Amino acid sequence: MLLLFSAMPCTAQKKMKTENVFIITFDGYRWQELFQGADKALIGEKKYVEDTAILKKNFWAETAGERREKLMPFFWSVIAKKGQLYGNRDYGNLVNCSNGMWFSYPGYNEILCGFADDARIRSNDKLENPNVTVLEFLNQQAAFKGKVAAFGSWDVFPFIIHEKRSGVPVNAGYEPATGANLSEREKFLNVLQTELPRPWSEVRMDGFTHHFAMEYVAKQKPRVVFLSFGETDDFAHGGKYDAYLTSAHQTDKFIEMLWYELQAQPAYKDKTTLIITTDHGRGTEPLDNWRSHGTKVAGSDQIWFAVLGPDTPAKGEMKDAGQYYQNQVAKTAAALLGVAYENKRKTGEAIKPALPGK
């Protein structure tokens, strides 16, 4: 089958220190919590919180700066000092979806392909993506062939990435680790995943996604990894603000664990960039709209992204007014690898401040 990207060769760009890229997503995680910490209107609301005293002890503080550091310590102690954070709308630093759907499949298509496709990507149904992702594009290049992989908590990712056509291995939903020479941890995770309750039919707990990915990275040394955590969105839909915050806090820990493990391995140390973002935002008003998103929920096109790696200038929280879009992630990932990414459809431009000398 002919691939849908253009025939433009995979030409090398400016020499980068980055040799590996990890694109990481928090499903449906609001910019408000990332930049302001726990929401005052929600943290004490018993409708959404089982034990308000414990949640306040864990995540409440009087100032937004203190709250966000308690909730996301790795983001604010490491990324804010050594990388870049985009999307604090209080400074006019805006990041939005360019797709008009404002839910998951269209968002992930935009992140991974570099463009919206509202005409064809209009649901979360398990339909093979007609578009070629940057993962598939890179997997067709000699330097990355067989060195691209994806892990997700949501079981639709094999379709979004079009695992059959792309050749990119995808471990998602309740799939077990497969292949020869499974590690003892992978064997244990495979068993444990079948023994624990499943709160959602299509989304597994993020701990499995994290540890399956960590084991694969340790063994296979992929150069490009897509890693998607899903709990934040599902807990939000369920109206569980306590679990939403706790999951976000744990995901921050997962990313910290991944980062320091990468820095401990010669194949990745000082050669790896993380690009972290979300597929969509959530509502704010009326209060119950924090549970929802989509075109009928104002604000759910408002997102954010973060970049941490050897080529990205350490500018921290970006306070310059500007407009960025979800469609810029794919080309940014490729540019950091020194690759000119072009698709048959026009893609968003790379995030210039995240590149060296910009």
Per residue in 87-130, pLDDT (tens digit) is 999 999 999 999 999 999 999 999 999 999 999 999 999 999 99
CATH topology of domain 20-354: Alkaline Phosphatase, subunit A (3.40.720)
Residue 8 amino acid letter: M
Determine what percent of the chain is predicted with pLDDT higher than 90. Answer: 95
* Residue 4 in this model has a pLDDT that exceeds 90: no
Dihedral angle of Cα 156, 159, 162, 168, to the nearest 10 degrees: 30
What the block records as the tokens of 190 is 């495979």
Cβ atoms of 306 and 277 closer than 8 Å: yes
Per residue in 203-245, pLDDT (tens digit) is 999 999 999 999 999 999 999 999 999 999 999 999 999 999 9
pLDDT of residue 358: 58
Closest CA to 144 of 18, 293, 324: 18
Query: Quick one: pLDDT band at residue 322, thresholds 50, 70, 90?
Result: very high
Per residue in 47-89, pLDDT (tens digit) is 999 999 999 999 999 999 999 999 999 999 999 999 999 999 9
Tracing tokens 């080309």 back to the chain, one arrives at 331
d(CA 346, CA 116): 10
d(CA 152, CA 175): 10
* Residue 282 in this model has a pLDDT that exceeds 90: yes
What the block records as the tokens of 49 is 């919180």
DSSP 60-101: --SSHHHHHHHH-HHIIIIIHHHSEEE--GGGTEEEE-SSSS
What is the mean pLDDT of the segment spanning 315-327? 98
* Residue 255 in this model has a pLDDT that exceeds 80: yes
Query: Quick one: pLDDT band at residue 3, thresholds 50, 70, 90?
Result: very low
Query: Quick one: pLDDT band at residue 5, thresholds 50, 70, 90?
Result: very low
